Amino acid sequence: MTEDATSELPPIHRTEVDGVPVFWVEDTLPCRAALVFRVGQADETLATRGITHLVEHMAMAAVGELPYFANASVDLTSTTFVTRGSPDEVAQFMKSACEAFASLPLDRIRIEGRVLRTEAVGRSAGVVEHMNFLRYGYTGFGLGWADELFLNDPRPAPVQAWAATRFTRDNCVVWIAGRLPENLALPLPPGYRYPLPVSRLIGEVKLPSAAQYGKESVAMAWESPRTSSSTTAVRIALNRLFTRARLEEGITYQVGYDRGELSTSLAINTVWLTCLEEQAAAVRSALLAVLGDMAEHGPTEEELEEDLKGFIRAGTDPDARAGDVAAAANYELVGMPAFGFQELLAERKAVTAEMCASELMASLGTALLRYPGAAGRPPTIFNHYSTNAGPPIAGKTFSKLGTRPWQKHIQIVAGPEGMSLVRPDGRVTTVRWADCVALEMRGGGIWTLYGADGYSIEFDSTNWKDGAALRDLIDRSVPVELRVSPPI
């Protein structure tokens, strides 16, 4: 299709139903629809990690089994209830899902929590989640890497409160690809539109930074402005990477990419390439060379022309109209203007090689590189990834029971500012009370104290000299709402 073909596409409509913005577009396929709330994993704390998933799961349990497709999911910034069927079936599901938040089956809360803990056993976080964790620790987008600690001992009161404040008509949108149901009803209480959550860079990390981790992939992530020149540079760089690393050198299988929306003006980009351990250095070299060349010189005129053709094809594809209406709804949900294709096309046409190069060059100053140890030391432009450095905090020193004064052993130093674990080789891990995000208390007296920077101290709270004083200090220093009980 040509760039003028958008006039042949069915228009995206916006209306409101019961105070909820509804975006819809005519479609010949079975009606597809979603109820999307602006709440996700990144809105939680480590101590409440999993509460959104639990609300979503219990709401679907309240809806019950249906003779047509319906499902729900939670990501970093949204919770989505989707369905597919006739307009009447879509309306039935939407109404039932909205009503479910006021009547969650709280008598089943521990059963559902155990079901979700069981689900987590077969699920593992991936490259994107780990890269976010290395950058943000246990805040915002970094929480996607964390275990769902709230599910250990889920309590009805916070679950009901979370449902009542986050699952409201002012914090959601609906999109529909198909005929707008005449009987659509969205009975939700009023509330507040929550902005995108804040993800805080770990204070000790000096960017650009490089961290050694794993064996099977090389990855790099960086923050960038949400502009057409930035996304154009990334698209063309990904094409170069695939051509070089997969087709020409045969050193990778997958060139992966993910883009997360940190705010209305800022995105986090993650690129990763799978590799054999013996090819890790070559894969890292390819990644850095391609991105470095793009940041220095930008794309060629031929690449810009081919990218523009692809941009027009995607924007005028009638089969992608469901994705277009979903995107329009999501833009409103996060507080962004939903530009039409012609506006986006004009912005894309204005992109030059110089714009791509300068934006990527500035963005790569925020880069975080992850590489296998087999790749060897990274280029010197990268700082060594290091957090939680420094001496132990000032306070009382606690020794393990049964150790002799002359023996080297692990010590705990705890005081008014926090707690440090000092290992025999001198390495120190510190969690300051002001930065504590959770205290997990498991069976047998095993406690884990978590800091916002992603570090934690695990210790047997019953196996220390004067342990009662240590436990009393922790009890006075960690707020009740940050404590996580053992699994029930």
pLDDT tens digits for range 290-299: 999 999 999 9
pLDDT at 38: 98
Q: pLDDT confidence of 408, banded at 50, 70, 90? A: low
Q: pLDDT confidence of 401, banded at 50, 70, 90? A: confident
296 and 412 assigned to the same domain: no
pLDDT at 386: 81
Q: At what angle do helices 87-100 and 51-63 cross, to 10 degrees?
A: 130
Is residue 263's pLDDT more than 60? yes
- Structural domain boundaries enclosing 102: 3-177
402 and 375 assigned to the same domain: no
145 and 233 assigned to the same domain: no
- In this structure, the strands spanning 209-212 and 368-371 are parallel
Q: Give a yes or no: residue 187 inside a domain.
A: no
pLDDT at 320: 84
Least confident of 15-29, 125-139, 156-170, 398-412: 398-412
Q: Give a yes or no: residue 200 inside a domain.
A: no
Q: pLDDT confidence of 424, banded at 50, 70, 90? A: confident
pLDDT at 8: 72
pLDDT at 207: 95
* E strand map for 5-89: 13-17, 20-25, 31-37, 69-74, 79-85
Mean pLDDT of 388-402: 86
Least confident of 189-198, 312-321, 341-350, 353-362: 312-321
132 and 242 assigned to the same domain: no
Task: Tell me the pLDDT tens digit for each residue of 184-243.
Answer: 999 999 999 999 999 999 988 999 999 999 999 999 999 999 999 999 999 999 999 999
Domain end, chosen from 320, 355, 384, is at: 384
DSSP 400: B
368 and 445 assigned to the same domain: no
pLDDT at 444: 82
238 and 348 assigned to the same domain: yes
85 and 213 assigned to the same domain: no
CATH number at residue 273: 3.30.830.10
pLDDT at 210: 97
Is residue 5's pLDDT more than 60? no
| This prediction's pTM | 0.94
pLDDT at 425: 85
Domain end, chosen from 177, 200, 220, is at: 177
Task: Tell me the pLDDT tens digit for each residue of 315-330.
Answer: 888 888 888 999 999 9
pLDDT at 271: 98
Q: H or E element: which one contains 358?
A: helix 353-363
Q: pLDDT confidence of 260, banded at 50, 70, 90? A: very high
Domains identified in the chain, total number: 3
**173 near 77, Cβ under 8 Å?**
no
**419 near 428, Cβ under 8 Å?**
no
162 and 223 assigned to the same domain: no
Is residue 452's pLDDT more than 60? yes
SS3 sequence, 413-472? EECCCEEEEECCCCCEEEEEHHHEEEEEECHHHEEEEEECCCCEEEEECCCECCHHHHHH
**325 near 175, Cβ under 8 Å?**
yes
51 and 143 assigned to the same domain: yes
Rounded-to-10 torsion of CA 40, 45, 49, 51: -60
pLDDT at 237: 98
Rounded CA-CA distance 386/389 in Å is 7
